[in-house]
């Protein structure tokens, strides 16, 4: 069965950095585009970042709200995807979900990131 | 960005009733390959979202055929026949045709 397990969330202060991770299993990770989607408390879903596969040069894409501050990366040898979040703002407070494949096929359980002073 | 407008924002339903949720996009969701990348997700209380239907009308594995998706271009509908208690939660439409990918604001399905 497909599993996506996020980790690394927590409480940070504004302008600080945090790196969250997602461990994938149950599918051919290297063949799948990977995404991060977030959900602020009581709000809807917002796509954050995308990373494509090696044949597509690991191309990355970001929502305007995080461009220049967040970096998505992947390690195919470990079936891991990461989100490095720098210069965090209070409005980045959200549950962050790792999702796999092109059409939001699979979702992890999420990891909470809280940005507060 | 493509705006996804979902209606109604909430629905109160009795077990066994049928309901429909509308999702309208600000642009056509037909991709250059001829496919339409409009999907439906369910987020049950306290859980992560789960995809139910992909590319307008294809049910994911394990999704009962009480669920059906229809539509084209910019106008889509999710229908749930004979609602069961486990169907309750927030339904989202999502498009992966255009970047950035976008979601509807959600429709909360509650018990009457």
The pLDDT tens digits for A48-70 are 999 999 999 999 999 999 999 99
- Are A111 and A20 within 8 A, CB to CB? yes
Q: Do B49 and A64 touch (CB under 8 A)?
A: no
Q: Is A26 on the interface with B (CB under 8 A)?
A: no
CB contact under 8 A, B55 and A103: yes
Q: How many CA atoms lie within 13 A of A86 on its CB side?
A: 6
Residue A34 at interface with chain B, using a CB cutoff of 8 Å: no
Backbone angles phi, psi at B13, to 5 degrees: -135, 150
Residue A102: pLDDT band with limits 50, 70, 90: confident
CB of A63 within 8 Å of a chain B CB? The answer is: yes
> Measured between CB atoms, which of A44, A107, A110 is closest to B50?
A107
Whats the size of chain A, residue-wise? 117
Mutate to test the interface with B, among A42, A103, A105, A107 (most CBs of B within 10 A): A103
| DSSP conformational letter for B101 | P
- How far is it, in rounded angstroms, from Cα A3 to Cα A106? 8
Is residue A107 very low, low, confident or very high in pLDDT (cuts 50, 70, 90)?
A: very high
Beta carbons within 10 angstroms of residue B64's beta carbon: 13
Q: Are B74 and B27 in contact (CB under 8 A)?
A: yes
Residue by residue, pLDDT tens for chain B (112 residues) are 999 999 999 999 999 999 999 999 999 999 999 999 999 999 999 999 999 999 999 999 999 999 999 999 999 999 999 999 999 999 999 999 999 999 999 999 999 8
DSSP string, B47-71: S--EEEEETTTEEPTT--TTEEEEE
From chain A, the residues in CB contact with B50 under 8 A are 107
Query: Are the C-beta atoms of residues B21 and B6 closer than 8 Å to each other?
Result: yes
C-alpha distance from A117 to closest chain B C-alpha (Å): 26
Cβ <8 Å between B96 and A102: yes
In this complex, do B48 and A44 lie within 8 Å of one another by their Cβ atoms? no
Average pLDDT, integer, range A102-106: 89
Distances (CA, A) of A111 to A72, A87, B13, B55: 15, 19, 32, 28
Residue A3 corresponds to which tokens in the numbers above? 């599993």
* Per-residue confidence (pLDDT) for residue A101, from 0 to 100: 85
C-alpha B53/C-alpha B42 separation (Å) is: 10
Closest to B50 in 3D by CA, of B20, B98, B94, B85: B94
Q: Hey, what are A116's tokens?
A: 């507060």
High-pLDDT (> 70) share of chain A, %: 100
CB neighbours (10 Å) of residue A4?
A: 23
- Residue with the bigger pLDDT between B91 and A104: it is B91
């Amino acid at each position: 069965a497909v599993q996506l397990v996020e980790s690394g969330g927590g409480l940070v202060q504004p302008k600080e950095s945090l790196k969250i991770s997602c461990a994938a299993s149950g599918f051919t990770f290297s063949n799948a585009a990977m995404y991060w989607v977030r959900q602020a408390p009581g709000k809807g879903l917002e796509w954050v970042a995308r990373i494509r596969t090696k044949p597509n040069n690991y191309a990355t894409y970001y929502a305007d709200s995080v461009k220049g501050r967040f970096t998505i990366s992947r390690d195919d040898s470990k079936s891991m995807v990461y989100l490095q979040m720098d210069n965090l703002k209070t409005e980045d407070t959200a549950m962050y979900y790792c999702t796999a494949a092109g059409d939001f096929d699979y979702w992890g359980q999420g990891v909470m990131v809280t940005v507060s002073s | 960005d493509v705006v996804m407008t979902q209606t109604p924002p909430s629905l109160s339903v009795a077990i066994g009733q049928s309901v429909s949720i509308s999702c309208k996009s600000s642009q056509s969701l037909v991709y250059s390959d001829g496919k339409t990348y409009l999907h439906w997700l369910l987020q049950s209380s306290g859980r992560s979202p789960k995809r139910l239907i992909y590319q307008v009308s294809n049910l994911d594995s394990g999704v009962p055929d009480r669920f059906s998706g229809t539509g084209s271009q910019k106008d889509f509908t999710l229908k749930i026949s004979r609602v069961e208690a486990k169907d309750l939660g927030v339904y989202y439409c999502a498009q992966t045709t255009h970047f950035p990918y976008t979601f509807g604001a959600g429709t909360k399905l509650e018990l009457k």
